[in-house]
Amino acid sequence: MIKIKVPATTANLGAGFDTFGLALSLYNEFFIEESHRFTIETNPKDRFLENPENNLFIKVLKHIYSRENKKLPPLHIRQITNIPVARGLGSSATAITAGILAGFYLLDKPLTEEEFFDIAYRFEPHPDNLLPSWKGNFITAVKHEKGTVYQQIDFPTDIKAVVLTPEIKLSTQEARQVLPKQIPLEDAVFNIQRASLFISALMNKNYKLLKIAMEDKLHQPYRKKLIPCFDNIVQNGYEEGALGVSISGAGTSIVALATENFENIGKQMLKALNKCKIKGNIYTLNIDKKGAILQTANT
């Protein structure tokens, strides 16, 4: 028996478009054991994921075995899905990361970073989601012509993430389609300044600067149109003491960073969403510092 636990992620955090990623204490879990036939069990039950042709975790496993010219043996897979799908919280990254870790463990092969990225990018090209799901904590990532370069930064433990997840699904592809192909120079400068400020504000614990640091002109002005009542949700979050509020990944979730008043921040953000006659869920999450964890029956 193998158990792999992988954290949710929130990417971008405003100005850090396709660069910043943060692991959160909400997890998908994958259990793998030998069996006489191939079966997939899901909790909550999901007939779509129980079809191996649809299941991203299985697709990654099969790809890893095919690289070794081997056939995936019969397994019983049980997936516990706690991370909402298509809400900008890295649910697909958890499946990819878990699939890679499981595949290399089952084949008794050491996993290098080069191999991780080579496989992961075949399924999702976004290191700002993949890296924190694998490594945990806060990541700044750069896709370079010679590979992926990243830095892991220890995120302050006194900050939590209050996440509002509307009952509206939005794929990354849909969210990318609304983005312009070109941007003005002043918008690029705007984001560079704020992304830099975000890092320095965290390092110096000058949290009052996060509201400015999480402003953005590259993606949020376009994507917020896909999230009803977005401006009111953000305003309510700030009025209750949020340090910074942004779209989580491609959306539709919205994340508020805060050091206090978590319950009221969540309630008021949800209240603004409900005024648009849309339901949602609130999660108050810690920063995950460990990333993906693989355990065997003996550990």
The mean pLDDT of 191-217, rounded to a whole number, is 97
What share of the chain in percent tops pLDDT 70? 99
What is the rounded average pLDDT of the residues 216-239? 96
Rg, the chain, Cα only = 19
Q: Is 84 helix (H, G, I), strand (E, B) or coil?
A: coil
Residue ranges of domains in the chain = 2-154, 160-285
| Measured distance CA(30)–CA(101) in Å, rounded | 11
Mean predicted lDDT score pLDDT of the chain: 95
pLDDT of residue 265: 98
Is the predicted pLDDT of residue 143 greater than 80, yes or no?
Answer: yes
Provide the residue count of the chain: 299
The reported pLDDT for the residue numbered 207 is 98
Would you identify the CATH topology of the domain 2-154? Ribosomal Protein S5; domain 2 (3.30.230)
pLDDT value of residue 192: 98
Band (pLDDT 50/70/90 cuts) for residue 170 is confident
With vertex at residue 38, the alpha carbon angle to CA 32 and CA 43, rounded to the nearest 5 degrees, is 55
May I ask the CATH class of domain 160-285?
alpha beta
Written as one letter, the residue type at 155 is: F
- With vertex at residue 232, the alpha carbon angle to CA 16 and CA 237, rounded to the nearest 5 degrees, is 65
The DSSP code for 288 is P
Return the closest-CA partner of residue 205 out of 240, 162, 257.
Answer: 257
**Average of pLDDT values for 6-21?**
97
Residue 298: pLDDT over 70: no
Rounded to two decimals, the pTM is: 0.95
Residue whose tokens read 């043996």: 73
Dihedral angle at the C-alpha atoms of 120, 122, 123, 127, nearest 10 degrees?
50
The whole-number pLDDT of residue 26 equals 98
CA distance 164 to 237: 10
Query: Residue 77's pLDDT is what?
Result: 96
Judged against a pLDDT cut of 90, whether residue 245 lies above it is answered with: yes
Give the span between the Cα atoms of 92 and 80, in whole angstroms: 13
Does 299 have pLDDT greater than 60? Answer: no
What's the average model confidence in pLDDT over 97-109? 97
Place of tokens 């008043």: 261
pLDDT in tens, 68-92: 999 999 999 999 999 999 899 999 9
The two domains 2-154 and 160-285 share their CATH topology (first three levels equal): no
Q: Quick one: tokens of 223?
A: 């994507």
